């Protein structure tokens, strides 16, 4: 599995991807990462989120773009259970939500 290390100043929605995309950017106080799992289904939604969280440095932030339903219920809950700080859950558009998690 390969991930992109491109820095970005784009909106939190990657364009034209089929889900599973990952964007990285440097920010004050730690790295900022976006993981698009909008096309994934449980249990892969949290599996991919957990893998990405494990790669982050303490203080880094991960924005997870996901679909409503099971992913929206499970990802924030599982992240909290794993000891991560869920900063926010926000509606982006349509059936897409953004969960912001700090390591």
Q: Known catalytic residues?
A: 42
Q: Helix (H, G, I), strand (E, B), or coil: what is residue 38? A: coil
- Positive/negative CA dihedral, 19, 34, 55, 26: positive
62: nearest Cα among 12, 28, 16, 15: 12
CB 26 within 8 A of CB 34: no
The CA distances from residue 78 to 74, 75, 90, in Å, are: 6, 5, 17
């Amino acid at each position: 599995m390969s991930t992109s290390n491109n820095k970005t100043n784009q909106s939190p929605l990657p364009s034209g991807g089929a889900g599973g995309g990952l964007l990285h950017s440097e920010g004050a106080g730690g790295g900022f990462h976006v993981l698009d799992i909008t096309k994934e289904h449980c249990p892969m939604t949290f599996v991919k989120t957990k893998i990405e969280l494990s790669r982050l440095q303490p203080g880094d932030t991960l924005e997870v773009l996901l679909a409503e339903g099971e992913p929206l219920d499970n990802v924030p809950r599982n992240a909290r259970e794993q000891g991560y700080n869920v900063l926010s859950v926000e509606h982006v558009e349509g059936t897409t939500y953004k969960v912001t998690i700090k390591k």
